[in-house]
Chains A and B, each alone.
Chain A
Amino acid sequence: MWVAWSARTAALALLLGALHGAPTRGQEYDYYGWQAEPLHGRSYSKPPQCLDIPADLPLCHTVGYKRMRLPNLLEHESLAEVKQQASSWLPLLAKRCHSDTQVFLCSLFAPVCLDRPIYPCRSLCEAARAGCAPLMEAYGFPWPEMLHCHKFPLDNDLCIAVQFGHLPATAPPVTKICAQCEMEHSADGLMEQMCSSDFVVKMRIKEIKIDNGDRKLIGAQKKKKLLKAGPLKRKDTKKLVLHMKNGASCPCPQLDNLTGSFLVMGRKVEGQLLLTAVYRWDKKNKEMKFAVKFMFSYPCSLYYPFFYGAAEPH
């Protein structure tokens, strides 16, 4: 189970990281390491200690203060535990879904060292959640229980309030493209996406329906090719319905025109198929052809094979 724990962390990092351009790829690999140190339940009467925030805790190394409290406010008791759990949040930070995401996460993972614990204010939590939860949900990851905002104090003088979220916008906000529609252009980028997806299908799309905040892609019956089956069974592919989480109101150039075939990647979460990436199928695109042809030769994360076992619903 320890291995699956790390594998899923790696999977999320891959999933979110793969949506970035190639130049940032190298940094992401540093975060996939396995932390061999076992967990300890809790220590009796262990006084909190003050430590420098280490350089290899990139989530919080630049947060704005240098010393952190251990155990932290998530009851992580060793630096190894903090690093392991913090690593899966780096890709989210890189998405810049809210300007105070780092302040919020680090107030819990690497809380400032003072004579009393200082918690994030509830309003800070709610702002970060409003900005980032839709993105996490798009990939099938709910806002976790440990960050539920009711756990944090109503705003007062002794909690950490929104710091940068108040800054006036310097430009009118541009409507952001759907996360699932951001495109990789290199074969490597595509294969990274394929690694972190449960299944990959070449298919035609019959129609698109709006379902609350999601788009639903209804697959056509014909011309369907399962390139990577993953958890899909034959019966699953007969009638493919893909949910594009939080995709109802953002632009997606690939889906403006439904003629032709699409390369589609997704995850199966609680019986529902979630779209994670969509491309127009282009037989002349050499990068795409290469990625599809050599998908299974690509060196995915070492823990990738365990991902399926861990993800299978009981």
Chain B
Amino acid sequence: MNVPLGGIWLWLPLLLTWLTPEVSSSWWYMRATGGSSRVMCDNVPGLVSRQRQLCHRHPDVMRAIGLGVAEWTAECQHQFRQHRWNCNTLDRDHSLFGRVLLRSSRESAFVYAISSAGVVFAITRACSQGELKSCSCDPKKKGSAKDSKGTFDWGGCSDNIDYGIKFARAFVDAKERKGKDARALMNLHNNRAGRKAVKRFLKQECKCHGVSGSCTLRTCWLAMADFRKTGDYLWRKYNGAIQVVMNQDGTGFTVANKRFKKPTKNDLVYFENSPDYCIRDREAGSLGTAGRVCNLTSRGMDSCEVMCCGRGYDTSHVTRMTKCECKFHWCCAVRCQDCLEALDVHTCKAPKSADWATPT
């Protein structure tokens, strides 16, 4: 399911709502609000003064961050696509997403990291596209340099990721720095892990312009890799996330289980174990898995046994038309056949009706 992308400013309050523990639906009323950034900044719920200040000074950066929300939420949904909790948001009740974030679980850890990474990515990309007044291509990437293949010229547009990281840190972390509680420290840690993850995938790309395309003359630049790489990396960190508790003097973490290693700056950390997400539970932010598609032949999290929490599944037979046997013909067209594909779709059963009557 894709997150619908409404007006540009629609996503800004949504982003901030997700980034703050307090859950508020007042952003709904901003949908109809037009006009100046002053109105928008002042009416976004949960902004601390530093964030509101940055919002006023850099409306173009806010726009870039808002546009980037769809990208990191899509990445989150991609990574959790086979899980009971699938990073989903309901169109009419975005606060449901926010409730998951109230619990200091590893899912919260992932969301904070991927959202922080998404902000870095969005700002850095907007820099390179020339959409932001306060930054541009990396000014240090000029002149000539050397690598294992010889000398090259810096050219094109190198991603100014240091600017993206600096701004993201100032903006996203501003609220957490006001608090000294365990949750604030957890969020700061995971936000930082997310920002560092993007920088990990900054790579050098080159073009060869020598005679007949030879590589004796090269122009190179630094470019962020596709955001999927960052998402995959953070997914591995989510799977290896480390449960921690606050240390005695409240300045940092220590591992909850002595047998495990201490977290590094790249690890995700969490305090509370996750719910099982099997049944709908508004307080826990769990939608439950009733109606979810499951995989009969899988042995992983998306298997019907696991996804449906042992409740069983329904099967429906679906047919659909697809293009197949495509061929390229000179000159020049791709021609395909139409094929009818039949498949079974398995969906999880709802809990028995008696369960609804049982007091929680």
The docked-state distance in angstroms from the alpha carbon of A12 to that of B219 is: 20
A158 touches B326 (CB 8 A): yes
A314 to B149, CA, bound (A): 13
Contact among B128, B158, B205, B207 with A39 in the assembled complex (CB-CB below 8 Å): B207
Q: Measured between C-beta atoms, what is the minimum distance from B150 to chain A in Å?
A: 8
User: Which of the segments A2-10, A198-206, A289-297 contacts the partner chain?
Assistant: A2-10
User: B215: CB under 8 A from chain A?
Assistant: yes
B157 at the interface (CB under 8 A from A): yes
Whether A141 sits at the interface, judged by CB under 8 Å, is: yes
Partner pick for B332 among A44, A89, A112, CB 8 A cutoff = A112
* Among B208, B210, B211, B223, contact of A42 (Cβ-Cβ < 8 Å): B223
* B331 within 8 Å of A (CB atoms): yes
Among A12, A40, A41, A145, point to the contact of B215 (Cβ < 8 A). Answer: A145
Q: Within 8 Å of chain B (Cβ to Cβ): is A136?
A: yes
Report the count of interface residues on A (CB-CB < 8 A). Answer: 41
Give residues 239-294 of B contacting A (CB, 8 Å).
Answer: none
Chain A residues lying within 8 Å of B325, measured Cβ to Cβ, are 157
B221 within 8 A of A: yes
Minimal beta-carbon separation of A90 from chain B (angstroms) = 11
CB nearest neighbor in A for B219: A39
Q: Summarize A's interface: helix, strand, loop or mixed.
A: loop
**Residue in A closest to B125 when the chains form the complex, CB atoms:** A44
| B212 lies within 8 A of chain A by Cβ | yes
Partner of B331, one of A4, A92, A112: A112
CB-based contact B217/A1 at 8 Å: yes
Is B330 among interface residues, defined by CB-CB distance under 8 A? yes
Chain B proximity of A94: nearest CB distance (Å): 14
A 1-57 contacts with B by CB, 8 A: 1, 4-5, 8-9, 11-12, 38-44
Contact A64 B327 (CB under 8 A): no
Contact of A146 with B213 in the complex, beta carbons under 8 Å: yes
Chain B 125-155, CB-CB to A under 8 Å as 1, else 0, gives: 1001100000000000000100000110101
By a CB distance below 8 angstroms, the chain A residues around B215 are 144-145
Residues from 206 to 256 in A contacting B, C-beta threshold 8 Å? none
In the assembled complex, the Cα of A85 lies from the Cα of B205 at a distance in Å of 18
Q: Is the CB of A157 within 8 A of B212?
A: no
- List residues of chain B with CB within 8 A of the CB of A75: 207
Contacts of A64 in B (CB 8 A): 330-332
Residues of B within 8 A of A157 (CB): 325-328
Question: Which parts of A48-83 form the interface with B (CB within 8 Å)?
Answer: 64-65, 74-75
Interface readout for B316-335 with A: 1 if CB under 8 Å, 0 if not? Answer: 00000000011110111110
Q: Give the chain B neighbours of A118 by CB distance below 8 A.
A: 328, 332, 334
Assuming the contacts A39-B219, A158-B326, asked whether A5 and B331 have C-beta atoms less than 8 A apart, the reply is: no
Residue of A nearest to B217 (CB): A5
The reply to whether B213 and A5 form a contact with Cβ atoms under 8 Å apart is no
Q: Is A163 an interface residue (CB 8 A)?
A: yes
Interface: B156 (CB within 8 A): yes
Q: Is the interface of B mostly helix, strand, loop or mixed?
A: mixed
Give 1 or 0 for each of B203-227: 1 = CB within 8 Å of chain A CB.
Answer: 0010111111111110101010000
A101 within 8 A of B: no
Complex: A66 Cα to B172 Cα, angstroms: 50
Does A193 touch B at the CB level, under 8 Å?
A: no
Distance between A77 CB and nearest chain B CB, rounded to angstroms:
9
| CB-contacts of A130-189 with B (<8 A) | 136, 141-142, 144-147, 157-160, 163
State in angstroms the CA–CA spacing of A115 and B323 once bound together.
13
Contact A8 B334, beta carbon cutoff 8 Å:
no
Is A88 interfacial (CB 8 A cutoff)?
yes
Among A41, A116, A141, A146, contact of B221 (Cβ-Cβ < 8 Å):
A41
**Are A114 and B207 in contact (CB-based, < 8 A)?**
no
* Assembled-state Cα–Cα distance A158/B324 (Å): 12
Distance A4 CA – B129 CA, assembled complex (angstroms): 29
* A115 & B207 in contact (Cβ 8 Å cutoff): no
B334 touches A144 (CB 8 A): no
3 A-B pairs with least C-beta separation: A41-B156, A144-B213, A157-B327
Given contacts A9-B211, A118-B334, A145-B215, 14 further A-B contacts (CB under 8 A): A11-B211, A39-B209, A40-B157, A42-B156, A44-B125, A65-B331, A85-B213, A114-B333, A114-B334, A141-B212, A141-B214, A144-B215, A146-B208, A314-B150
Point out residues on B near A: beta carbons under 8 Å.
Answer: 125, 128-129, 144, 150-151, 153, 155-158, 205, 207-217, 219, 221, 223, 325-328, 330-334
* Interface residues in chain A, defined as those with a beta carbon under 8 Å from any beta carbon in chain B: 1, 4-5, 8-9, 11-12, 38-44, 64-65, 74-75, 85, 88-89, 92, 112, 114-116, 118, 136, 141-142, 144-147, 157-160, 163, 310, 314
- The contact sample of 26 A-B pairs, CB cut-off 8 A, is A4-B217, A5-B209, A5-B210, A8-B211, A8-B216, A8-B217, A11-B211, A39-B219, A40-B156, A41-B205, A43-B129, A44-B125, A64-B330, A75-B207, A114-B333, A114-B334, A118-B332, A141-B211, A141-B212, A144-B214, A144-B215, A146-B208, A157-B326, A157-B328, A158-B327, A159-B328
